[in-house]
Chains A and B, each alone.
Chain A
């Protein structure tokens, strides 16, 4: 067992880990931050996406020890300081960008990365960026619509589903 220290959602944290402890395991089981989901555990589905030093990564395919000293942001860090939903989260709620909601944490984190790189993405750019995030309810349409809305673009012409 070794000790790892990092900053998660702005707060300094540390904990005991094994070499093989995955970042997602440390977040969920070590810190109790269960907003980050484990879907496939094979880096296909993207439910576990978090930000490490500002970049989207699959937390099931990164060791916690590799996040030593890093700034990590999880879904819990996407809310406003007063606890209300952040812009992207609120847009997912408003546009019903989920069905069962299992993939939503990863979708929101990937959307945040996309909007940081490309503040006004087209529908095609959103769909392309979400290549590594799978929704098994096939709810992509409203997910894309929610991200368009979160970027401040007009979604009134996009068909309701």
Chain B
């Protein structure tokens, strides 16, 4: 790693001030950023650790909404988001137990890895990304692989999820990295079904609108049995080519619907 300064503020306001330095970078749980720094793929002048900010940790459920602090670990969500069981289950299957102790929901969403699990839950739930300056709808937040609507120095302080009537996440795991080779999150709300796909597209997480329309009309495995996702723009790598990933989107969607119904 290149050298950098390190600050560990205890409030959001202090963190925002610390991030005003040129080339300063926020540090969540570090489960992606630290390996990136080790490979010298990033060279921030300063890391601002968010791990000491108590006001960014915790889970609350109120009137059909679950709100999770941006600094809440995957392990804490797995254990404490029982009001949204599909979300808790997703968090409990990210990485491995030691990774889940450190990795945070805010860090995952800010990084927007095209194979990360959380972006699919946020997009399928129509979640609201709350930052130190504003609120961003999930539909406006994800802008492509490793790209989001966040401005420089903007911190995800919380994420609000409307709790669906039924939901499930089906993940086809890449066994070495434990990221999703393809993951599909299906969430059924009174006004329709949302389907978000991670791991598959070169543009990162996306909504599979064809499946959403079919499932909104008839929430059953049969409704999506005849659909096939397009392979255009999907990732091809040594783990699977675009056609394989397109096939997995269909399979994982059916599994998620079966688990949710």
- The residues of A that contact B31 with a CB separation of less than 8 Å are 43, 61
A66 to B51, CA, bound (A): 7
Which residues from A are CB-within-8-Å of B38?
41-42
B99 part of interface (Cβ distance < 8 Å): yes
Contact in complex: A63, B102 (CB < 8 Å): no
SS class, residues of chain A in contact with chain B: mixed
Number of interface residues of B (CB under 8 A): 30
CB distance from A58 to the nearest CB of B (A): 5
| Cβ-based interface call for A105 (8 A) | no
Q: Are A20 and B37 in contact (CB under 8 A)?
A: yes
Fill in one digit per residue for A1-37: 1 if any B CB lies within 8 Å of its CB, else 0: 0100000000000000011101000000000000000
Q: Are B96 and A19 in contact (CB under 8 A)?
A: no
Given known A68-B8, A131-B178, contact A61–B30 (CB-CB < 8 A): yes
Are B96 and A20 neighbours in the complex by a CB distance under 8 Å?
no
State whether the Cβ of A57 lies closer than 8 Å to any Cβ in chain B. Answer: yes
A63 in contact with B6 given A20-B37, A46-B96, A132-B96 (CB within 8 Å)? yes
Q: Chain B's nearest CB lies how many Å from the CB of A88?
A: 16
For the complex, what is the distance from the CA of A22 to the CA of B33, rounded to whole Å? 13
Query: With the chains together, A152 CA to B47 CA distance in Å?
Result: 45
In the assembled complex, the CB of A29 is this many whole angstroms from the nearest CB of chain B, namely 15
B190 at the interface (CB under 8 A from A): no
CB of B54 within 8 A of chain A?
no
A114 CA to B101 CA in the complex, in Å? 13
Q: Return chain A residues, CB-CB under 8 Å to B97.
A: 56, 110, 113-114, 129, 131-132
Task: Name which residue of chain B comes closest to A109, CB basis.
Answer: B98
**CB-defined contacts of B99 to chain A, threshold 8 Å:** 43, 58, 61, 132
A-B residue pairs in contact (CB < 8 Å), sample of 9: A19-B5, A19-B47, A20-B4, A42-B38, A43-B35, A52-B101, A55-B75, A61-B30, A63-B47
A58-B98, A66-B30 given; 19 more Cβ-contact pairs under 8 Å: A19-B3, A19-B4, A20-B2, A20-B6, A43-B34, A55-B75, A56-B97, A56-B101, A61-B35, A61-B99, A61-B102, A63-B30, A65-B8, A65-B49, A66-B49, A66-B51, A68-B8, A110-B97, A132-B96
